[in-house]
Amino acid sequence: MSRFVSRSSRVLLVLLVWLRPGVASAQQSSGHRIDLGGDVLWLTGLRFNDVNANETAFGGATRVVFRTSTKLEQAVCPEAKVLVGLTSTIEAEGAVAFGRTHLATSITTDPEAASATVSTPLTLYVLQGGVAAHLARWQRGRAAPFASGGIGYLRQLHDGHALVQNGPSWYVGGGLRYALKDDTARGLNSAALRLELRATILPGGSTVDGATHVLPTVIAGVFFHL
């Protein structure tokens, strides 16, 4: 765990260093601007490695009894997020999301039993924190692109509240912030849309099959300056 965190920190550091030179014409507001908003977090689904039911034949050869293929189905999760301006172009962000989906396993090639797909409902809890850096160099009018990165924690519970999987995650991504109104105003007069694409990386300890996977994630929401 500690190794994971330090590795993530290095990634973020690199990201910040790379982005800082281009911020001269970024937002005018001061360093501690706070935005609060609501997102829809779309976890687009994930297919895990296929796993076979193997037995041992004469001489140590492997004989497959049946094959399974498991996927985490897509989930649309409402998310609350807070953005805190650290500098004129760097924001810290923290978010919590909740959603429901299914874990589904397809079973094939069993000579004795019919192929089947079996599943279980899951409840997802997602906690994420990181930074977003506005790419002022490419800002066009009200649209400001940004890059993001951070770490998270994904907890998957079966409906009976049994833990299916949990563990850390990290993400990198980027998107566009579009100011609907005056971006320097406050409250409802400061509404901005935010669309982001992320690669959420789930390391082996956080996945059913123990392998690292990338979960494509789409986030869209609206934010207000407090």
Partner 1 sequence: MIDARPVHRTLALVLAGLMIFGNAPCAFAYLKFGFEVNGQQVTLKWNRTPVRYFVNSQDISGVTAADFQSAVAQAFATWQRVPTASITYQFGGFTSSTPGDDDGVSTLGFLNEPALDRVLASTSFLVDNATGALLESDIFFNSAFTWSVAPNGEPAKWDVQTIATHEIGHFSGLGHSAIGETQLMNGTRRVLSTGAVMFPIALGPGDISGRALDPDDIAGISDIYPDDDFNARTGSLSGQVTKNGRGVFGAHVVAFDIGNGDQIANFTLTSDGRFSIAGLRPGPHVVRIEPLDDVDTDSFFDPSEPVDLNFHATFFDRLVVVPRGGDSGTVQLSVSP
Restricting to residues 4-63, which ones interact with partner 1 according to CB under 8 A?
A: 48, 51-60, 63
Residues with Cβ within 8 Å of 47's Cβ and at least 6 positions away in sequence, in order, are 69, 70, 71, 72
Residues 193-212 vs partner 1: string with x where CB under 8 A? Answer: ---------------xxx--
Site for partner 1 in 80-139 (CB under 8 A): 103-105, 107, 110, 112-114, 116, 118-120
Strand 34-43 relative to strand 75-85, pairing? antiparallel
Query: How far apart, in whole angstroms, are the C-alpha atoms of residue 211 and residue 154?
Result: 15
Task: Please identify, using beta-carbon distances, which residue of 103 and 133 lies nearer to partner 1.
Answer: 103
The closest alpha carbon to 39, from 205, 173, 208, belongs to: 173
Instruction: Provide the minimum distance between the beta carbon of 65 and partner 1 in the complex, in angstroms, as a whole number.
Output: 7
Q: Between residue 177 and residue 196, which ones bind partner 1 under the rule CB under 8 A?
A: none
Q: Which stretch binds partner 1 (CB under 8 A): 24-32, 91-99, 154-162, 192-200?
A: 154-162
Separation in Å, CA 21 to CA 26, 29, 89: 11, 18, 11
Distance CA 54, CA 62 (A): 6
User: What is the binding site for partner 1 (CB under 8 A)?
Assistant: 48, 51-60, 63, 65-66, 68, 70, 103-105, 107, 110, 112-114, 116, 118-120, 158, 160, 162-165, 208-210
